[in-house]
Chain A
Amino acid sequence: MNNFCKLSAHELADPTAENKIKAADIASSVISRYDEVDSRVSGFVNFDKGAVTDRAARLDNLDESCRQGFSLPNVPVVLKDNICVKGELTTCASKILQGFKPPYDATVVSRLKSAGVLLLGKSNMDEFAFGSSCETSCYGPTKNPYDLERIPGGSSGGAAALIASDQAILALGSDTGGSIRQPAALCGVVGLKPTYGRVSRYGLIAFGSSLDQIGPITKDVRDCAMLLSVIAGYDKLDSTSADVPVPDYTKSLMGAVKGMRIGLPKEYFIQGLDKGVKAKIDEAISVYKGLGADIRQISLPHTEYAVSCYYIIGCSEASSNMARFDGMQYGYRYQEANKKYALIDMCMRTRGEAFGLEAKRRIILGTYSLSSGYYDAYYLKACKVRALIKADFDKAFNECDMILTPTTPTTAFKIGEKIEDPLAMYLSDIFTIPSNLAGIPAISLPCGYDERGLPIGMQLMARHFEEEKLLRAAYSYEQNAGWKKVKPVL
């Protein structure tokens, strides 16, 4: 059987190709690849073979006139389990949303459907996107395809692992503090967090509403551009979405980086940065130098406060966003409540039993920092720090067009290694968090492997709505890097 999953989206959906591949063939390719490897990777949750087959049949039965407008015909796409699909299980990898089938489609899902994709199902994640390792899922951890004893990164770890293991061609993740880029880096794939407001959040089950952004996880930069073109753009259902025109991102890939000023923030190249990672980033910098980019040192002085600032704002918003999960309307409900306090007992036991440890930790942290008497010292102060971090970037972008950093301080760590030490875990996102606080776009793309053969990611950041610039620079590197991509052995 053909393994269509090995292709990229631009190969599969190539408009110049004479014989379009039938959705049914792609579906069976996906299913056989799933049977072959997913018991080891555990990237999927709620994978329904029958539903995939049915959807493929429906696509194949469409009139040719319907198919004309499709920009991603038959391309298999996996969605992180926090993106709502009408009538399909959407659980945020949490017991509290057991059995929940949203009555509506997220805006990105409607857009994907209009692009003619083949929806596969849901990918594993950290519960409610709380985590950096994909270990807090109620379905159990996903494994890194490059080393099954290691984490794939979090929280969109399932999506990154599925792309890396050729079980899907495109994926959508969500990124609150690096949840797309960090797993993309650790699984050797491309991940983009668009500008805040670039992609509608309608239908994304919120973690930290002012930080969350949906974005693509793909095999290469061109696929990333194609997928972004489909999902980006103003949505009247999301008040925070930006009414800014959407360029054709694939058209902007070509073009030189000659003369582009690339800033290296000195705060990102210090202690804790793994030697192997440092070496590969240095090589990438030389590639850009060779392409004629103007490399310069810059400073983002408030970087050291980003992680604490992020956890206060993110958890404060999360504590409020999580309040709706009370067993009242949907999801898991504790059934045998004490008669006298039936209501409060039901609600407390539901939340007590169905939220995982990390979710509880963040709800408590956020509740505390918003409570009267602590609000000024924590939440309000964090908002002020956030403004300083934004100002750091504004200033830096006067001196450079783009910022280059490692995506993560280390390559993938072992499953269980940091789970008992939340503070150490929180530091995995140290390089990705600042761009969420500032709302700017950032991309992670592979830049080689460490001595164990584990993927290393490089991050590029730009001004608001300058995704074109990021994609062009990333594409240019991808075409000129000179190292050979190694597929994981599964």
Chain B
Amino acid sequence: MKYTTIIGLEIHLQISTRTKAFCSCENGFGKEPNTSVCPVCLGMPGSLPVLNRQYLYRAVKTALALNCEVARRMKFDRKNYFYPDLPKNYQISQYDMPLSQNGFLEIMTTGGIKKIGITRAHMEEDAGKLIHDEGGSSSFIDLNRAGTPLLEIVSEPDISSPDEAYTYLKTLKSVLEYLDVSDCNMEEGSLRCDANISLMPAGEKGLGTKVELKNMNSFKAIRQGLEYEQDRQAKILSSGGVIVQQTRLWNEKKKITELMRTKEEAHDYRYFPDPDLNDFIIERDTVLMLKKSLPEMPRAKMNRFVKEYNLSEYDACLLTSDRRMADFMEESVKLYPKPKVIANWLTGGVQAYLNEHNCRFSQIAINAGMFVDMIRLIDSKLISNNMAKDVLEEMISSGVPAKDIVKKKGFLQITDKTAIESIAADVLQSNPKVKEDYLSGKKNALGFLIGQIMKKSQGKADPVMAGQALKKLLEAGHEGV
């Protein structure tokens, strides 16, 4: 039996602002526990929240970038539940009048571009953090994170595979990085993701019973968790079983999902309008101003790259998925107006380096000037393409200019005609069989001979000149017979 998978994602995004959502405490990660707190974020009796304007603006920008309708009037509600890290035992959130609704995000799938609906993006404050004393019987509470501004981005159940979920997250993350509204760091909890997943027999309509999946701490874990849950549900359904609505936790060590709670244990949050915060009118002028301040988004940039630089969609997509890389591309083109060559080096050598070292473009020490200088070394035949790969790697990891690397390593290409001809003569002499093959018409034998020249010259010979030298010698010899 075949099944269709239906996935919806809920992202909790920490918005980077100078101060917290409703008080003037510094909003940041990594401080001594309970040092960035005040009566308001501690939920002290008598304290009152005041909305941070920078938080509102950044949330509006994000909503606009996700093509959402921004509300004219929004309000804050209280979501009531008891938890030790929730100082007021209610969370200020938004229920029926959220900041924004009805957006979408376009993602690139194997089947082309797909629109994933965004149900809503709403504002809410974060809770604190519990630290359990392993082995001991104590627990500690750090309320530095309490009151941190969040944006909850809820997708429609439009995602149909764990792979698509992964792509959606990658795309969303790149949009957020373009906006510069969050550092999107999953390890530090600034981007958290819960997923709803259900399966339906292929061809049938409606929605299956959904399972909520929590506790996935990396994009990889999200894909693995969804894959595991997809298999688990398919097995249950195939054997005639029934899926029970529940919340499950991803166990990173065992690579399985585990039951957290069933629907019956679900909370009644008793949402109601927070009487400490008035309704907010979001002025249209403010929205327009913020809309104007939006940078070019990855998809628009990609289309432009395809058109202006004559690149493939695939390459343009790869280049624009990282804002820093895209900026780098544009900067380099200004210095060296051959976009195709630059794109090839970026999607080739540079990307390979990033993959190999598992790092991001922003983390490597390279600037457009250095990069373009390296390409110019190839053009002036001082180094070969092959040598350039090594030079690039060295340049990225050390930050030393290509010229200096070439000098230090004696990497200079041999472009002296006489020298190359002399190596070619040697090669022909030690490979009489191949020479004959060529002369008898097997033209591809030339490649082997060029390879031998490169080997003998430790890769320094100009391969084009090597070919020319061989041809000259072979033809001269032939005529001489």
B37-45, B215-223, B362-370: which one contacts chain A?
B37-45
- A324 and B88 in contact (CB under 8 A), knowing A202-B48, A238-B48, A329-B42? yes
Does A237 reach chain B (CB closer than 8 Å)?
yes
Q: Please pick, from A102, A239, A319, A326, the residue contacting B46 in the complex, using a CB distance under 8 A.
A: A102
Interface residues on A, range: 35 or more
Does A343 reach chain B (CB closer than 8 Å)?
yes
B76-84, B282-290, B353-361, B390-398: which one contacts chain A?
B76-84
Task: Mark A80-91 against chain B: 1 for CB-CB distance below 8 A, else 0.
Answer: 001110000010
Docked Cα-Cα span, A324 to B48, in Å, equals: 13
Q: Please pick, from B87, B272, B278, the residue contacting A379 in the complex, using a CB distance under 8 A.
A: B272
B45 near A100 with CB under 8 A, answer yes
Does A209 reach chain B (CB closer than 8 Å)?
yes
Contacts of A319 in B (CB 8 A): 80, 270
Within B53-96, which residues are at the interface with A (CB < 8 Å)? 78, 80, 82, 84, 87-90
Does B47 reach chain A (CB closer than 8 Å)?
yes
- A206 and B46 in contact (CB under 8 A), knowing A239-B276, A323-B80, A367-B270? yes
Docked Cα-Cα span, A295 to B310, in Å, equals: 85
Of listed B46, B50, B89, B268, residue having the most chain A CB within 10 A: B46
Of listed B51, B272, B277, residue having the most chain A CB within 10 A: B272
B90 near A323 with CB under 8 A, answer yes
Q: Which residues of chain B have a CB within 8 Å of any CB of chain A?
A: 39, 42-51, 78, 80, 82, 84, 87-90, 141, 268, 270, 272, 275-278
B49, closest chain A residue (CB)? A239
Contacts of B278 in A (CB 8 A): 239-240
Q: Please pick, from A92, A202, A316, the residue contacting B47 in the complex, using a CB distance under 8 A.
A: A202
Contacts of A286 in B (CB 8 A): none
Query: Lowest 5 CB-CB distances: which A-B pairs, in order?
Result: A323-B89, A210-B275, A209-B275, A370-B270, A205-B45
Contacts of B90 in A (CB 8 A): 320, 323
A84 near B46 with CB under 8 A, answer yes
Q: How far is the CB of B26 from chain A (nearest CB, A)?
A: 18
Contacts of B49 in A (CB 8 A): 239
Within A222-277, which residues are at the interface with B (CB < 8 Å)? 236-240
A372 near B270 with CB under 8 A, answer yes
Q: Please pick, from B48, B88, B268, the residue contacting A237 in the complex, using a CB distance under 8 A.
A: B48
Task: Mark A332-368 against chain B: 1 for CB-CB distance below 8 A, else 0.
Answer: 0000000000010001000000000000000000010
B42, closest chain A residue (CB)? A329
29 A-B contact pairs sorted by A residue (CB < 8 Å): A90-B45, A102-B46, A106-B46, A202-B47, A204-B46, A209-B275, A236-B50, A239-B49, A240-B48, A240-B276, A240-B277, A317-B272, A320-B80, A320-B272, A323-B89, A323-B90, A324-B45, A324-B87, A324-B89, A328-B87, A329-B42, A329-B43, A343-B84, A347-B82, A367-B270, A370-B270, A372-B268, A372-B270, A375-B272
A351, closest chain B residue (CB)? B82
B48 near A102 with CB under 8 A, answer no
Contacts of B275 in A (CB 8 A): 208-210, 240, 317
B143, closest chain A residue (CB)? A329
B84 near A328 with CB under 8 A, answer yes
Contacts of B44 in A (CB 8 A): 102-104, 329-330
Docked Cα-Cα span, A324 to B91, in Å, equals: 11
A212, closest chain B residue (CB)? B275
Contacts of A141 in B (CB 8 A): none
Docked Cα-Cα span, A102 to B42, in Å, equals: 12
Contacts of A237 in B (CB 8 A): 48, 50
